[in-house]
Amino acid sequence: MRPHSRQILTVEEAFGQNGWHCELVAGREVLRAGFDAHHTRVDLIAQAYPQLNALSVVSESPMALDEEHLPAVLELLARANKQLTLGGFEYDLDREFLVFRITNLFEREKFDNDIISSMVHCAIAELDRITPYAAIVRDTPGDLLDDLDLGRLLMREDIIPPVPGDEEEEY
């Protein structure tokens, strides 16, 4: 088994400097961590691509959807993606997980700690932000789904998690 790359080791170092527990996956350029966010538990995967000097950070949380609610949640994610500048939402159909993915290309083998930290914060915050919207869609009775205005739903601010710093951070 070959040793981990300098790139993933800098990610591990950044996690340590932030006080975040993580585990390197043996034989892969992957690090795993878990965070308790405002609305949900977030599993986080950071994967380095040494040949490209790239890092992809993926946050995910389980959300089972039936066939009736799946199209509405997929539309919700597509509408939310239109509002994003960085990263994107997905739904893993096979595992039934809400997913947020953000990737960055770095100039050097040693990744910048501030960028890594920002990517992690972004991945957690975005997944935590979309979870209550998706839950509202999932919990809407099937006969009322056609009446649900997803664009207006995404404008609701009463379910957005507090901005870090406005209350004590949980991760």
Q: Which residue has the tokens 């991945």?
A: 123
pLDDT bin (cut points 50, 70, 90) of residue 167 is low
| Mean per-residue pLDDT, 24-31 | 95
* CB of 77 closer than 8 Å to CB of 89: yes
DSSP characters for 72-102?
A: HHHHHHHHHHHT-SS-EEEEETTTTEEEEEE
pLDDT at 160: 81
Specify the amino acid at residue 30: V
The confidence score (pLDDT) of residue 141 equals: 97
pLDDT digit string, tens, across residues 5-22:
999 999 999 999 999 999
Identity of the amino acid at 72: A
For a pLDDT cut of 90, what percent of the chain falls above it? 86
Domains, the chain, in order of start with CATH, read 6-155 (3.30.1460.10)
Question: What average pLDDT is seen over the chain?
Answer: 93
More confident residue, 169 or 1: 1
Q: How far apart are CA 35 and CA 44, in angstroms?
A: 8
Q: What is the pLDDT of residues 99-146, one digit of tens each?
A: 999 999 999 888 999 999 999 999 999 999 999 999 999 999 999 999
Give residue 166's pLDDT: 58
Give residue-wise pLDDT tens across range 32-88: 999 999 888 999 999 999 999 999 999 999 999 999 999 999 999 999 999 999 999
User: Quick one: pLDDT at residue 165?
Assistant: 61
